[in-house]
Each structure stands twice: as C-alpha cells, then as structure tokens.
Structure 1
Amino acid sequence: METRKGRYFLYLKDVLLLSVTAFGGPQVFLAMVLDTMVKKRGYITEEDLWELNALCQVLPGPTSTQTISAIGFRIGGPLLAYFSLFVWILPATLLMIIAAFLIDFLQENTPGALNFAKFIQPMAIGFIIYAAQKTIFKMIKTTEAMMLMMFSAFISFFYNSPFVFPVLLLVGGIATSLKYHKQPKEEGDKKLVISWSNFYLWGGILVLAAVLGALTKNQSVLLFENFYRNGSLIFGGGQVLVPYLYTEFVEFKKFLSSEEFLTGYAISQGIPGPTFSISSYVGALSMRNFGLGGFLMGGFIAAAGIFLPGTFLIFFVIRFWDQLKKYRPVRAALEGINAVSCGMLIAAAYLLFEPLEANLFNILAIVCTYLLLQFSRLASPLIIVIGILAGIAYNWLATGFFLPAS
C-alpha cells in the first residue's frame, strides 16, 4: 500500500512540474508527457498515451486536461484523476486570476493603462490565425469538410450568438455521419457495456445549474452554468473556446471590453498549463464588482465550470471507448464536428479583429506575430514578452517619459 501511495504522490509531483513548465501548446505538452510519464516513469505505454489522447480529442472539453485526468484514472482510479486535475489546472488558474486583477487595477488607477497591451492585442489575432491554419490543415481533408467549414464560418460571422454554436456542431456531426459507409469496417464484438453514472453526473449538473440560475438569478450560479455549458460543447481545444467566450462575455453580456479580452488571451498564450485557463481570467473580470473576493470566486467558478464537464465525460467514455469507436457513424461524425470547429476559428479571427482599428500598425503586428510563429523557433511566451516590452516602451515614449521635465 505504501508503495502504491508513493507512486501516486510521485505522479502528482510530475503533474505539478508539467503544469509550470508546459509552454507551447498541445504539441509540446504531448512531447513532455511522452518523455516524463511514458519513457521516464512508465506510468502507461506509448500506445496507451496515443489512444487516450485520440479519445480526448474526439470529446468536448480541454484535451490536455482530459489526457492528464485519463492517465490518473488509469493509474489510480477516479480519486487520483481528480487530484491530478486539480494540480494541473491550479497554477494557470491562479496566474490568470492575478492577471485579471492587475489589468483591472491598472485601468482603474492609471489612465491609458492598456497602452502596454498596444502590441499584444493585435498579436492575439496572429495567434488565432496561426492556430486556425494548423487546425485546418490537420482536420480538413475532404470537399464536404471544406464546405461545412465555410458554412460554419459564414453563420458564425452573422449570427454570433452563443446558442448558435451547439446547433452548428450538431448539424456538422449529423451531416458527415450520413456517409458512414465510407469508413472501414472493424472486426470484433460490438456489444456495448455502458456504465452511465458519470454521464448522469455530467448531465445532472448541467440541468441543475441551468434551473438554479434561472430561478435565483445569482451571478455566481449563472457564471458556473455559462462555463459548464461551454466546457460541455467545445470541440477542438482552447483556440475554439475563444469565439464562444468572446461572443458570450464581450458581445452578448458585455462583462469585458474587447481590449480586456484580447489582452487576456495574449497573456494566456504566454503562461504554462492548459490553454482553457483564459476562462479564469474571463470569470474573474465578470465578477470584479464584488471586489477581491469576486475576482477569486469568479476565477475559480470559471475553472470548475470549464474543466469539470470534460473530466466527467472522459470518465464516462473511457470505460467503453474500445467498443464505441467500432461504430462507423461515430467515427464519421467527427469529421463534421471538426470542420465546424475550424469554421468557428475563422470567424473568431474576424470577430476579434473587428473592434481594432484597421490601421497599418495593427495589421503589421498581426502579420509579424504569425510569421514569428510560423517560421521562427521563438517560443510563444517569449513572443508575448517581446510584445509587452514593446508596448511598455511605446507607452513611455508616447507619454513623454524620456523627456526632461520643463
């Protein structure tokens, strides 16, 4: 028993180290997991890692977080999985809450405080375009997928309500599931043995949060429901989350300004850990009217709401995935879901750029960021730091910081 407990503790230490060093997105994250948890520690096999990651990619929610939770589940069951989830998300959550507090404090106490973000706001668009390009080249393989992507982008341009997105995902999945006969058949017993407890837990919390929010109108409950719903619908990773959050919290509810959102998104690209951590930033600013306690409450409520659905769903599906993936309509539906997600990414780049001035400065900042990401070996955090330093220097010059007092 002591040996098993020691192994669990060592695993949680590895998760913590990963949470403060995993810069650079899902590709770097997977490389680090492969090196530490497969080759060095031997928690799982390399084949198991790719299988778990593939499963997490086809479920809604944050892929890296679900992968960590799934590894913990395989090693030590649900309790270890929940502990690993907490350890993995805590550093990034705290950093984004602190960022939200500092941004709000600067705006309240320093005129023109967001001038330091003059560069990183358009840079955030560059990150989105780069993510969209990578995702599109990976996911769009057929004419049908291309058409669905364009349809999704068009609808998202003109009907950017948070309630449109789940409908688009459903339409995309159904559209490609109809051509399931093109999927190769797999041999083996297709009888599904399903344990529904985690599905009921996921669905029960979703319904309960919606009902309580409607009855009480309590902002904390409504905030949890908003993020829990988004966490239940996001396919394609953190970059796909951006249009959802922007539409709901900037365009629809106006809890944040466009400048605040873009600044937070850019900062989230420069910290380690899960990219979904931007949710804590949005949640903290959404409850800023309640003071410091509101920042903390909003940040942690958003983190719980955005990360729990994917965890419940991975616990639900992991038990019968080997049987489920043999059904051709299930595999075929993924193509449409991914295509719609790509369309939302294209719309996100446009919607986030729209509030910015279409001047040469912003366009150059976007293009230069994209080129650095595409052709240089500079890590994302370093690019963000360069942008922040450039913004600070610009602000000093613009306010006459270097001019002698008269």
Structure 2
Amino acid sequence: METEEVSLVPPPRRSGNRTKRVRGIIFLKDVAVLALTSFGGPQAHLAMMFRLLVDKRRYLTSAELVELTALCQIVPGPSSTQTITAIGFRLGGPNLAYLTLLVWMTPAVTFMTVFALSISYLDPSLVARLVQFVQPIAIGFVAYSAYKIAEKVIHTKTSVALMVSGAMLAYSFQLPAVLPLLLLAGGLITAFRYSKLPQIEQKQPLRVEWANFALWLGVLIAAAVLGHYTRWLPVRLFENFYRNGSLVFGGGQVLAPLLFAEFVEFKRYLTAPEFLSGLGLVQAMPGPNFSFASYIGTLAMRREDAGVSGQLLGALVASAGIFLPGTFLIFFLIRFWDQLKQYRVVKASLEGINAVSAGLVWAATFLLYHPLPDTPVNLILVASTFLLLLWNKIPSYVIIGAGLVAGILF
C-alpha cells in the first residue's frame, strides 16, 4: 500500500506583499520626517520632496512629481498635502494615502493647537523675533524649488515663453482664480501640438469613478444644511472650513485673508492680534500651512466655555474641514489620471501645465519677499539658503533650526 508523501516544507510566502508593506512603512517614516522638517509653504515643501522622495528614495521621477504638483494646483485645497497623499496613493492605494495624510498633518496641527491653547501666555513680540529670520530662509527654499522645477521641465522655447508669461501674470494679478486659469491656459496652448507626439495604438479604456467626487459634494451639501439649521458651534466650524477648503486655490497665502475676513472681521471669533500671532507662528511651523485652521478652531471654541476638551474638539473639526475637500478631489482625479494621459492632447498639454507651474513658483518667490523689510540681512539670508540647498550638504532642518536659534539670540 502506497502512502502519499507529505511535504513538511511550508509554502513560500508572498514576498511581494511583504515588500510592499515594508516600503509603505519606510515611506510613512519619510513623510514623518518631512512633516517635522519641511518649512516654508507648498513651494518649499516641493523642494524637500525633490531631495528626499525623488533624489534619495526614488519613489517617483522628477517629471512625475512636477506633474502631480501641477495636477494638484488645478483643484482647490492644500497643494503640498494633496501632492504627498497622491504619492502615497500611487505607492500603496487609498489606505496608504489616508495614513500619509494623517502622518503629514498631525505634527503641524498638534503644534498649532498647543499654541492656541497657550496664546494668552505668549508675548507677540517674542513671536515676531522668533520668525524674523525664518521667513527669508523660507523664501530661499521657494527660489530653490523654482530652480529645480525649471531645470526639469523647461526644454523648448514655448516652455520658456509660458514660464515667463505665467510668472508675470501671477505676479500682476494676485487672485485665487488666476492660478488654475493660467495652468489650464498653458495646457491648452501646448495641446494644439499633439500631432507631434507618437500615437498610442492600444489605449486603456477611460473609466471614471465618481465615488470621491460624490463624497466631496455630499459632505459639502450636508455640512451647508446642518451649518444653516444647527446652533452647535463645532458643526458650524466644520461647515465654514470645509467650504473654504473647497473653494480656495493657491495654498495658505490665499487662505489667510479669507479666514481673517470671516473669523475676525465678520464673526469675531478671535481678535486681529491673535490672528496675526497665529499666522506668524504657522510660518515657523513645519508641514502644511492649512494647519492654521486648527489654531482658529481652538480659539473659536472659547465662546462655548467648554474648556480644553471643547477647544480640542474645535481644532479637530477645523482640521477635518479644511483638509478633507482637497483630499476627496485629488483622489477622484488621480484614479483615472494615468488613463487620461494616454490621449495625445492630454499628454501634449502637460508641457504647458508644467511650464506655467514653474512660472507660478518663480512668481511666489518675489511675492513672498515683498512683505519683508528690504534689508541686506534678508537678501543675504535668501541667497545663502538658495546656495546651501544647491550645495546639498546641509540638511534642510538644520538651516531652519539655525534661523530659529538666530531669532531667539538676536
């Protein structure tokens, strides 16, 4: 009687899934590093993403990062947050993307909430001294980001013309709606050159998944209805910030004046000095500038006399309201973006979008410098930061840390 031979060797594990999980964990650690060390707003964040995510880790190419950034600038919301969550989506799908969003926003939101809770004990002059050198350093980061983008995407005379035109128009017309219109116009101009590109014979079918768009729109409508009929302040705060997050193009610099008009001048949830102190603090914080919403939400809940727990709830609903709209919208677009790029018209338009994107960052460099005193110290700090980043030997957080220490000492 023959007996069946039983193998005692266990079946091989699926090393692919394990490798993917390990890569996802490493990516989240890199996101945490960026969240704790990336100062200066979306353009400066992009420079650090180039250094860590592209040059060092090679999660994606420079062209892919520029393309994602341009795509995120077309839709409303915090562009650097949308960019990094979109990278997480490409590496590990929706689960990794939402974890990326949580890791990216948590440090800045926590810092700004703590500052809001202790705002009564902070000296505004101390805040001004603390950030006096960080601001010109941040502009150096922006200039470096503009240089890196131009180096990667400007290869034709048309690209040069679009970059210069985009920079001049963005500098002259400082309106939120101008930025996406310029990007779309740049893409439209180069789209007419599609016939010069090779044709793809077998295209993947274009399948649009409407779930995230429906989610964004549904939450917007539900929040508006509840915000209109309820008297509970946390619900109204969520509606206020969700609406602003759904309509604002251009990042934290555009968001700030809108929040000032609504929460200081109209609703008087906080005073102008409190608002300006928080705005100064968020410039010195790493991570997304949209974390300023948690600061306002924390101070707004003082009206409810709900104590620290109520203020923490205000920070939570404000953060969720400001970050969720842009996340829903970019997840809607990113799912069919690769299929959309197969069409020559779309692919040709990327040249113009990328060129205008470079011009917008150059414009931001000069626009952000204008509010600063035009002193030799500030000019030297901008130039020195730019050169140190080109040298690529000193970590970014060391440069920012030196600026913070200098602000305390001098």
TM-score norm. by structure 2 comes to 0.70
3-state secondary structure, aligned to 2:372: coil
Uncovered stretches (5+) of structure 2, i.e. residues with no partner: 1-12, 39-47, 73-78, 265-271, 303-307
Equivalent residue runs for 1:3-402 within 5 Å: 14=26, 16-22=28-34, 25-30=48-53, 34=57, 56-57=68-69, 59-60=71-72, 61=79, 62-73=82-93, 78=94, 80-81=95-96, 83-98=98-113, 101=116, 104=119, 108-109=122-123, 111-189=125-203, 191-205=205-219, 218=236, 220-230=238-248, 241=251, 243-245=253-255, 248=258, 261=279, 264-268=282-286, 275=287, 277-281=288-292, 284-285=295-296, 288-291=299-302, 297-298=314-315, 301-302=318-319, 305-306=322-323, 308-310=325-327, 312-314=329-331, 317-318=334-335, 320-394=336-410
Residues in 1 aligned to 2:351 and 2:228: alpha-carbon distance in whole angstroms: 35
Specify the structure having the higher radius of gyration (Cα).
2
Residues 168 and 154 of structure 1: CA distance in aligned 2, closer, same or farther (over 3 Å)? same
Report the Cα offset of residue 383 of structure 1.
0.5
Residues in 2 aligned to 1:68 and 1:247: alpha-carbon distance in whole angstroms: 31
Residues in 2 aligned to 1:245 and 1:53: alpha-carbon distance in whole angstroms: 24
Letter in 2 for 1:225: R
Residues in 1 aligned to 2:67 and 2:361: alpha-carbon distance in whole angstroms: 22
> How far does the alpha carbon of each residue in 1:334-376 deviate from its partner, in whole angstroms, 9 at most, with x for none?
2222222222222222222111111112112212222222225
**8 Å CA contact retained: 1:190, 1:324:** no
Letter in 1 for 2:401: V
**8 Å CA contact retained: 2:278, 2:292:** no
Residues 389 and 159 of structure 1: CA distance in aligned 2, closer, same or farther (over 3 Å)? same
**8 Å CA contact retained: 2:150, 2:358:** yes
> How far does the alpha carbon of each residue in 1:142-166 deviate from its partner, in whole angstroms, 9 at most, with x for none?
2222222222222222321222222
Residues in 1 aligned to 2:92 and 2:359: alpha-carbon distance in whole angstroms: 33
Report the Cα offset of residue 262 of structure 1.
6.1
**8 Å CA contact retained: 2:183, 2:357:** yes
Q: CA RMSD in A?
A: 4.1
Letter in 2 for 1:313: I
3-state secondary structure, aligned to 2:71: coil
**8 Å CA contact retained: 1:136, 1:342:** yes
**Matched positions, count:** 358
Report the Cα offset of residue 169 of structure 1.
2.3
Residues in 2 aligned to 1:365 and 1:96: alpha-carbon distance in whole angstroms: 26
Residues 136 and 88 of structure 1: CA distance in aligned 2, closer, same or farther (over 3 Å)? same
Residues in 2 aligned to 1:383 and 1:149: alpha-carbon distance in whole angstroms: 29
**8 Å CA contact retained: 2:85, 2:98:** no
Q: Percent identity?
A: 27
Residues in 2 aligned to 1:252 and 1:360: alpha-carbon distance in whole angstroms: 37
3-state secondary structure, aligned to 1:59: helix
**8 Å CA contact retained: 2:282, 2:292:** yes
Residues 151 and 50 of structure 1: CA distance in aligned 2, closer, same or farther (over 3 Å)? closer
